[in-house]
Each structure stands twice: as C-alpha cells, then as structure tokens.
Structure 1
Amino acid sequence: MLRISIARLPHGDGLPLPSYATHGAAGMDVVAAEDLDLMPGQRHAVATGFKVAIPDGYEIQVRPRSGLALKHGITVPNTPGTIDSDYRGELKVIMINHGSEPFPIRRGERIAQLVPAAVTHAEWDEVDELCETARGAGGFGSTGGHGSL
C-alpha cells in the first residue's frame, strides 16, 4: 500500500481526511474546506484544508464525482487534474458549474475523488520516419463513428 504524508491546514480542522467510501472504490472522496455558491458558468479552486507530500514516482489525479456531474452539471474542468509529487501547497479542486442554477458547496461536503497513480517518465527518440500501421495518419473519427456500432 502506498503511504502519502498529509498535513492539515488550520481551515481543515475537524474535516475528514480523503477516504474510500467502499472497499472497491478506486478514488478517495475529498471534501470542501470552504462555503461558496458556484454560479452557472463559474469556476473556482475549492480549498480542501490540507497539503500532501506525494512520493517520487507518483501523482494524485483529481477526478469529478459522477453524481454531481449527472445531477447538477458540476465537474472538474481539467479532468483528470494532476497533483505533482514536488508540489507542497494546499490541494485545491478546480470546479465548474455547467448547470443552469447556482450550486451550493458547503464545508465538509464531498466534492471530488483523488486517485494516486504511478508516473512513467519517457524520453524522446527523434527519427526521420515512423513505422507504418494499418491506421496510418487517420485521426478523429477515422476508425468509425457511433453510427457504425
């Protein structure tokens, strides 16, 4: 099991640490450490009240909660968001309201999921030509659209 150091900030006192809601959950629920009303079309970096020290070779991915997205149009616009292992500031969740009504975010309510993930670093090998494939340079929609399913 991966161990991640976490430090509460003063405005995070009394809030639960990120945790898995069920045994099979892939993401840990994280809660808001502030109150606000997110207006339609508005974005806001929601405070969580803690900071972390992610081990080298890992990141934390920030993902939206599916229920908020479906029921209210509330999501994380840069999904998945990445928290890098060398970042030591407060973890904040960028949220956007795609709905038509103001959405209340209240301290202690679940706002997103956190998924620790291994990071693979790569190096580029510059070449004059790439090997051929059956697909070739076919891009967006070239393998068939939903109508062919």
Structure 2
Amino acid sequence: MSEAVSIGLRWLDHGAGLPLPRQQTAGAAGMDLVAALAAGADIVLAPGKRALVPCGFAMALPLGYEAQVRPRSGLAVKFGVTVLNAPGTIDADYRGEVMVPLINLGEDDFVVRRGDRIAQMVVAPVSAAQFRLTEMLDDTERGANGFGSTGRSVG
C-alpha cells in the first residue's frame, strides 16, 4: 500500500460535528461524503429532480492530485439516486465547499438528511498533459472505430 496523501481540511460552520471523510476499510478506494444540512432542513428529491448537497468542508489537495466525486452504489441500486456529473472532479486549486450534485432517477421521493452518506470521493494523481500538433497519427488495430466497435459484451 502506498503512503497516504496529506490533505488539509477546514470545516465550515454547518459541517461541524460531522465525521471526517475516510476510507471505511483497508481496501476501500473511496471516502464517504456526508450531507451537511441543518437538523430538520432535509432535502426531498422527487423523481427526476436534482439538488446540490453541501458537505460542510473545504480542502486543499496537493498539486498533482484531484478528488473524484462518485455515486454510492447502494443509493444507486436501492433508490436510483446518483451523482449527476459522475465522476465530478475537484481540482487541486479549488478552495470552496465540497458539494455533491445528486439526481433522483428512481420512482419515489428520496429524502436527504444531515449526516447521510451521499457520495464517495476518490483522491487520485493526475498527469500533466500538453498537446502537440501533428499531421498523422500512428495506426492501431482499432483505428477510428468508436462506440460499440469492439463487439457486444453483455449476454
């Protein structure tokens, strides 16, 4: 296992008392993000509706890293609730509040309450990239064949 990345975290007033994001098991890639709503200020997501849910903290990722905000599989399977722009990217130079855009793709209202685990966050290294213009690209077996070109993989 590699050395842990140190990330500065600052609680905002409405996030005080919530648990720090952390991996729940030794093999977990993601850290749970929880809703930082005021007690009793629940968000009701009707089917097809979306909301931006605050997490109550800001952070300072080191340069060369990003945080990816991803859906929680249990919410997706059980209720049809997912992260709208999954995976969302939090850049290393962002210092605002971490927030999660949820959407309810299910058939019933879904209620978000303070402290509910709403998404997961994965911290990952990023590569610096720079494009260079070229007249030709190298040939590959796949070539320009796109979506679905390698065959159907579902039985």
Scaled by the length of structure 2, what TM-score is found? 0.92
2:111 alignment partner in structure 1? 104
User: 1: CA distance between counterparts of 2:139 and 2:109?
Assistant: 51
1:137 alignment partner in structure 2? 144
1:8 alignment partner in structure 2? 11
Secondary structure of the residue aligned to 2:77 is helix
1:72 alignment partner in structure 2? 79
Please show how residues 1-149 of structure 1 align to structure 2 within 5 Å.
Answer: 1-34=4-37, 35-146=42-153
Long gaps (5+) in structure 1: none
The number of equivalent residue pairs is: 148
User: 2: CA distance between counterparts of 1:99 and 1:15?
Assistant: 27
What is the one-letter code of the residue matched to 1:4?
Answer: I
What's the offset of the Cα at 1:132? 1.1
Scaled by the length of structure 1, what TM-score is found? 0.95
Long gaps (5+) in structure 2: none
User: 1: CA distance between counterparts of 2:18 and 2:132?
Assistant: 47
Identity of counterpart residues, as a percentage? 56
Q: Structure 1, residues 46-72: CA drift from partner, whole Å, max 9, x if none?
A: 000100011111010001100000000
Secondary structure of the residue aligned to 1:70 is helix
User: 2: CA distance between counterparts of 1:19 and 1:38?
Assistant: 26
